[in-house]
Amino acid sequence: MKIKILIIYFLLNLSLNIYSEKVKSLLILGDSISAGYGMSKEKQWSEVLKEKLKEKKIDLRIINASVSGETTGGGLVRTDKILKNNKPSYLLIELGGNDALRGYPPRKVKNNLLEIIKLAKTYGSKSIIMQIRIPPNYGNRYRNEFESIYTEIAKETESLYMPFMLNNIALEKNLMMADGIHPTKEAQPLIAQEIFKYLEDLEVY
């Protein structure tokens, strides 16, 4: 009897392990735009994305580790622990906007992002680097130098490149908060759809 119980226990654990290995996961490491600044959790684009995946019966686990006000330096400090605890299939990096707000040198921002991707590789996670766009009032020189680091990083590290998720939203006043930085709750489903389409095109599911 004991042998039968042990065999059943072993088979159950084996099946669970096989299933867990098959289910891919996407960890979002971002700032307030991904953390859902100014709105309840269920309205955030990451939660809308979860529902969309569920509706489509797609097994991709979404883990949102975004924090409002996060910089690339802060993200780097947190990355090792987050990756160790979750071991995601993919790491979506949406960072840099707050660095630009503080006027940090693009070279410093790039180095921090490179270190985050380096850590991701040690845990077997494929990185997706999202392009960050900043307003023109930063000056063309700084803006061009800053925005160019994302394509450079994607090429240098062979990471996946994702266009800025607010490309089709930032110029729509009704989809942006009064600060001109954060998307409204009405914009969240649109962002979720953009991310969904991108992931679908990459066939990460």
> Whole-angstrom Cα distance, residue 33 to residue 69?
9
- Six-digit token string for 61: 């686990």
Asked if 129 and 165 touch (Cβ cutoff 8 Å), the reply is no
Phi, psi of 190 (to 5 degrees): -70, -40
Comparing CA positions, the residue from 22, 21, 70, 25 lying closest to residue 46 is: 25
* Coil, helix or strand at residue 30: strand
Contact 75, 29 (CB under 8 A): yes
CA dist 163 and 53 (Å) reads: 20
Q: Could you list the active site residues?
A: 32, 179, 182
Q: Which two tokens stand for residue 8?
A: 């059943």
